[in-house]
Amino acid sequence: MSLFWQTLICGLLLGGMYALIAIGMTLIMGVMKIINLAHGALVMVGMYVTYVCFHYWGIDPYAALFISMPALFFLGCLIQKYSINTLIGKESILPENQVLLTVGIMLVLTETMRMIFGSDYKSVHTSYTGSSFFVGDVSVSIPMAIGFVIAMVFTYALHIFLTKSDIGRSIRATAQDKEAAILMGVNANKITIITFGLGSALAAGGGTLLIPIYYLFPDIGHAFVAKSFIITILGGMGSTMGALFGGLTLGIAESFGATYISMGLKDVVGFVIFIIVLLFLPGGFKSLTKR
Amino acid sequence: MLKKFWFLSIIIIIAIILPFIVQSSYYQHIFILILIWGTLGVAWNLLGGYTGQVSFGHAAFFGLGAYGAGLLAFHLHISPWWGMIVGPVAAVIISIPIGLICFRLRGPYFALAMLAVGEICRLIFTEWVPFTNGAMGILTLTTFSSKLPYYYIGLVVLLLSIYTVYRLMASRAGYYFVSIREDQDTAESLGIPTTKYKMYSLIPSAFFSGLAGAFYMNYMNYIEPSIVFSLPDVSIMIIMVVILGGVATLWGPVVGAIIYVVLSELFRSSLGSAHLLVFGVIVCLVIMYMPNGVMGEANKIKKLFRRKGTHIGSEMT
């Protein structure tokens, strides 16, 4: 039974951090109505920013959040303003041109990082990396617990921001109906830029929280892009709370898959859930609450 | 029409005598890579370009074709060339249930479902060690020491795929494909069985992806799941190649393949690992400024050059 609880706790903590990354993606998806394939690459860039902070300047990864998140916010705004927004209203054969552009951006970000840091695996070793505490007979890793708590704080702060602040409300209005929002005086162009920046910042936040327990290399983004898609679809496009529950579900499912099926097949569990949800519950968890 | 015929004949004749002009086996290797990528691009273009079903998981069919050939040699110890039949057939057989499931979804959902299919295939082939030899991959012996036979087989495969797509697009099915891409609901309301025709588009696409995979196995003699089922290096690269060359054009994928392979070989020697960076930047610029690719915007490019020679006033009238 202790194995069961161990697996559950581990999956839950991991899922909280996945959720933070996925919330960034679901925000962008909700407002832009596109899938952002560069999201994993943004996570990866955020992780490298933290790595640089730790390795060269000796800044603790959790303090580096205050550097990596603003940096990625800025990068995300630039990407949105100077590349993706220029495509709006352009005639092309495939309607998915913006999605394909995010693939190009992903390629550019990944290869830039590979050029700077090389392909080898990097990791951040803090004093608390391997340490853990016990609840009953279940051991809880300290960096995972801290990461989970910070991720939940961010999620709650974002929720307050989206429901209470002026910009947050404009973001939600644009996500619901872009034309109507424009008629109500929302500067939709500015909102898309802010949203992409915010999404990138959350991606960097998630990546930074994961870094004490993960390793780092330029291609790591692909794993995160797949995970955040699964979570976004699980939770329903554009739903913050859905993404939170989706993230927790994926974390737990992966954890159980790794314990009870096989370590190598834990990612298959996620993908199978993904396809099943796409087929039988296309609206995700969001559609369950509306009934 | 006659002009087109001559143009085509000249291209084919050049393609046939090319390896005699360029004898270096390194350049011949580049030509063969172009043929493989061209075939993959043409296959993806049928489903993604003409029918509008953007797939992020074509590595699944490529890998199945390659493993179809590789596993024959690995388990039955017969020539992997039989895989040129078995590989594509395996890809088609697997593509039918995938299509039936995934075609219930549209647009980005379909793209994501295909991405998941590609990744599932990679993970299964990595983990199922007794059957696939896992991450150790499959190694076979080279059949020909010269590159020439490979070049001509690859050329036949590419021309076959282009001819198939050409005939399909000239038939009734081709018009159905384009109507599904332009507006699926309207197509359905006009009485086109959309799911059925999406399948008709997927099956040849999977077949030629599998054929390219089987040929890749025979040429490279070594495959492993992380090479042939790779998401960034196969699935996404196919899309980039087609976007670069021109979506929904007959020769676009081949042009894209030439640009991709030549660029990556050119920069590999001078820039090392940064060659993909240059390629990524070019892809971004092409999507931003030439959204229909090089062949798709060919008329615009032609006009741009012609305008310099002629009187500007003639454009106005």
Q: Tell me which residue range forms the domain holding B110.
A: 27-310
Q: Which ipTM value was assigned to this complex?
A: 0.80
**Which helix (H) or strand (E) segment is A123 a member of?**
strand A122-123
β-strand pairing of A138-141 with A132-135 = antiparallel
- The domain spans of chain A are 2-220
Q: Cα separation of B43 and B208, whole Å?
A: 6
Q: Cα separation of B170 and B184, whole Å?
A: 20
Look at residue B20 and tell me if it is in a domain.
no
Q: What is the per-residue pLDDT across B77-103, written as a single tens digit (0 to 9) for each?
A: 888 888 889 999 999 999 999 898 888
Q: Give the angle A190-A195-A199 at the CA atoms, nearest 5°.
A: 155
Look at residue B120 and tell me if it is in a domain.
yes
- Choose the closest CB to A108 out of B112, B284, B292: B284
pLDDT at B89: 93
pLDDT at B141: 80
Other CB atoms closer than 10 Å to residue A156's CB: what's the count?
11
Nearest chain A residue to B100 by CA: give it. A279
Closest by Cα among B200, B260, B198 to B54: B198
- Between B307 and A198, the more confident residue is A198
Report chain B residues whose CB lies below 8 A from the CB of A120: none
Chain B: give the shortest CA distance to residue A105, in Å. 7
| Least confident segment among A44-53, A219-228, B40-49, B183-192 | A219-228
Look at residue B14 and tell me if it is in a domain.
no
User: Across the A/B interface, how many CB contacts are shorter than 8 Å?
Assistant: 132
Interface contact B153, partner A, CB < 8 A? no
Chain B: give the shortest CA distance to residue A40, in Å. 12
Asked if residue B157 lies in contact with residue B211, where contact means CB atoms within 8 angstroms, the answer is yes
Between positions 71 and 100 of B, the ones with CB within 8 A of A are: none
pLDDT at B293: 80
**Rg of chain A's alpha carbons, rounded to an integer?**
19
- The pLDDT-based confidence of B307 (bands split at 50, 70, 90) is low
Q: Cα separation of B48 and B40, whole Å?
A: 12
Q: Cα separation of A227 and A210, whole Å?
A: 14
Residue B76 belongs to a domain with what CATH number?
1.10.3470
Q: Cα separation of A192 and B61, whole Å?
A: 37
Q: For chain B, how many residues are written?
A: 317
pLDDT at B314: 41
- The pLDDT-based confidence of B313 (bands split at 50, 70, 90) is very low
Angle between helices A266-280 and B107-127 (to 10 degrees): 150
- Choose the closest CB to A100 out of B124, B232, B239: B239
Helix (H, G, I), strand (E, B) or coil at B183: coil
Q: What is the per-residue pLDDT across B240-289, written as a single tens digit (0 to 9) for each?
A: 899 888 888 888 899 999 988 988 888 777 776 677 788 888 888 888 88
- The pLDDT-based confidence of B140 (bands split at 50, 70, 90) is confident
Q: Cα separation of B99 and B201, whole Å?
A: 10
Q: How far is CA A20 from CA A13, A16, A35, A44, B233, in A?
A: 12, 7, 17, 14, 28
Whether B155 shows a pLDDT value over 80: the answer reads: yes
Whether B294 shows a pLDDT value over 50: the answer reads: yes
Sign of CA dihedral A121, A124, A129, A130: positive
Look at residue B15 and tell me if it is in a domain.
no
Average pLDDT (B189-216) is 92
- The pLDDT-based confidence of B184 (bands split at 50, 70, 90) is confident
Low-confidence ranges of chain A (pLDDT < 50): none
pLDDT at B232: 79
Average pLDDT (B23-34) is 88
| Least confident segment among B43-52, B128-137, B272-281, B297-306 | B297-306
Asked if residue B44 lies in contact with residue B55, where contact means CB atoms within 8 angstroms, the answer is yes
Contacts of A93 (CB under 8 A, 6+ apart): B49, B181, B247, B248, B291, B292, B296
Average pLDDT (B160-168) is 92
pLDDT at B315: 40
Report chain B residues whose CB lies below 8 A from the CB of A95: 52, 107
**Rg of chain B's alpha carbons, rounded to an integer?**
20
Look at residue B315 and tell me if it is in a domain.
no
Interface contact B109, partner A, CB < 8 A? yes
Report chain A residues whose CB lies below 8 A from the CB of B288: 83, 86-87, 101
- Between B174 and B302, the more confident residue is B174
> Is the Cβ pair A104, B240 closer than 8 Å?
yes
Asked if residue A222 lies in contact with residue A40, where contact means CB atoms within 8 angstroms, the answer is yes
Interface contact A92, partner B, CB < 8 A? yes
Chain B: give the shortest CA distance to residue A32, in Å. 13
Number of domains in chain B: 1
pLDDT at A272: 84
Q: Cα separation of A24 and A21, whole Å?
A: 5
Average pLDDT (B36-43) is 94
Look at residue B294 and tell me if it is in a domain.
yes
Specify the amino acid at residue B173.
Answer: A
Q: Cα separation of A222 and A215, whole Å?
A: 14
Interface contact B169, partner A, CB < 8 A? no
Q: Cα separation of A240 and A21, whole Å?
A: 11
Residue A217 has which token pair?
């290399």
pLDDT at B311: 46
